[in-house]
A = this chain, B = another copy of it.
Amino acid sequence: MRHMSVTERKSGCDDMEEVAIIGIGCTPVGEPWHKSLRNMAVESTWAAMDDAGVDQVDALILGNMSSGSFNEQESLGSLIADYAGLGNISAFKVEGACGSGGAAFKAGVMAVASGYHDLVCVNGIEKMTDVVGDNATKILANAADREYESIHGISFPGLNAMIMRRYLYDYNVKRDDLAAFPVNSHKNAVHNKNAMFRKEISADSVLNSPMVANPMTLMECAPICDGSASVILTTKERAKEFTDTPVIVKGCSVKVDTIGVHDRKTVTSMNATVTAAQDAYKQSGMQPSDIEAVELHDAFSIMGAIGLEDMGFVERGKAPRFAAEGQIGIGGKLPCCTFGGLKARGHPVGATGIYQIVEMCKNLRGEGVLDIERGLTHNIGGTGSTVSVSILGRD
């Protein structure tokens, strides 16, 4: 048996073809019952193609978690290529639970870097409202370990509440500080016309909102919603043909961890986030201090806090205070969720990872609320069972 050591791997080698984002597009997030799954995917795909100035791509990769269960529709690659009028191109779907968008992004980056495709659209899409049959929370629970978690009735709010309770205990954190994550996301969503909830909220309203799973309240949980976001990728070499403001993929990593939370040494850190971030830092030659803004996976307030710590931005147990002191706000040390994050922009699960890329591109192109050179996106599937971290930068 040969055991391949990490240093033998090619990840991050200098000889990899660099990939650039030349077009972005997304739909407003919400409950648009007048738009179908295919309508929304086509809308954002065409918007991204328009933005790139191309009327054809040669591959389409869909990030989607559960269209089979939510919409009784599989075969998304052919469906969306068909309805977007893209003809006989290459297309398939990528699934990594709520991290499907981030995983699809990496598949798209590899499709370009491999030389197999030149212009690739990566579309994250999820239509979770007007669901056929089962309710959305039950379908989402399929991302947990069916035999040891979901079949016993545990769902993601429950898993996250248990993690939150342990985190508060381990680090003796002031519980109220965690409310700073949803407060920040709501504040940042006000300017984002594609956000689902565009109004500010107070820490008091977070803490006094209905209890979902003790100690986690409703306003600490991202909503069930629909959305679609798309990006167009090509090689860095070709990017200048299409745009003066290409965004370069400096690092892109997907890592997994045990699917069941009970199988981990700790629940207050996520190995998949730690290793994906390390991999992305290594690929990019950057470290946490080089990053100017983060699109954080704040599906639950506790996930935002642990994410910041796992990626090396804040010491263990210090993220809630860091947030409560305003350091994750626009103008703070590390602006996070600058377009509203999962909590206020919304969390159409398989689309979220691509919304994050789209929003970071706006900041890097000088079209967002920030005008920065290097940003990071952080997309979680399951309870940290699949995590993607991408580092994007100006040319």
Q: Is B146's CB under 8 angstroms from A10's CB?
A: no
In Å, the complex CA distance between A117 and B93 comes to: 20
Interface residue ranges of A229-251 to B (CB < 8 Å): 241-242
Per-residue B-contact encoding for A352-388, CB less than 8 Å = 1, 0 else: 0000000000000000000000000000011001100
Q: Shortest distance in angstroms between A188's beta carbon and chain B's nearest beta carbon?
A: 29
| Interface residue stretch chosen among A52-60, A167-175, A176-184 | A52-60
Is A390 part of the contact surface with B, judged by Cβ < 8 Å? no
Q: Shortest distance in angstroms between A79's beta carbon and chain B's nearest beta carbon?
A: 5
Q: Shortest distance in angstroms between A20's beta carbon and chain B's nearest beta carbon?
A: 15
In Å, the complex CA distance between A112 and B73 comes to: 30
Given A68-B142, A382-B75, A118–B58 Cβ distance below 8 Å?
no
In Å, the complex CA distance between A53 and B3 comes to: 9
Q: Which residues of B contact A115 (CB under 8 A)?
A: 10-11, 13, 15-17, 113
Q: Is A74's CB under 8 angstroms from B90's CB?
A: no
Interface residue ranges of A1-48 to B (CB < 8 Å): 1-4, 8-11, 13, 15-17, 36, 38
Per-residue B-contact encoding for A48-92, CB less than 8 Å = 1, 0 else: 000001111110000001101101111111110110000011111
Q: Shortest distance in angstroms between A44's beta carbon and chain B's nearest beta carbon?
A: 18
In Å, the complex CA distance between A290 and B61 comes to: 32
Is A219 part of the contact surface with B, judged by Cβ < 8 Å? no
Q: Which residues of B contact A144 (CB under 8 A)?
A: 75
Is A96 part of the contact surface with B, judged by Cβ < 8 Å? yes
In Å, the complex CA distance between A108 and B353 comes to: 21
In Å, the complex CA distance between A106 and B89 comes to: 14
Q: Is B74's CB under 8 angstroms from A97's CB?
A: yes
Q: Is A78's CB under 8 angstroms from B381's CB?
A: yes
Q: Which residues of B contact A117 (CB under 8 A)?
A: 9-11
Is A297 part of the contact surface with B, judged by Cβ < 8 Å? no
Given A82-B258, A92-B107, A1–B66 Cβ distance below 8 Å?
no
Q: Pick from B55, B103, B114: contact of A77, CB below 8 A.
A: B103
Q: Which 8 A/B pairs are nearest by Cβ-Cβ distance?
A: A78-B385, A113-B114, A114-B114, A92-B103, A78-B256, A75-B97, A110-B114, A16-B115
A-B contact sample (20 more), CB < 8 A, given A75-B259, A78-B385, A93-B96: A2-B242, A4-B57, A4-B58, A8-B118, A9-B117, A11-B58, A15-B115, A72-B150, A74-B95, A75-B97, A75-B381, A75-B382, A77-B96, A81-B256, A82-B258, A90-B106, A90-B253, A92-B106, A93-B95, A107-B110
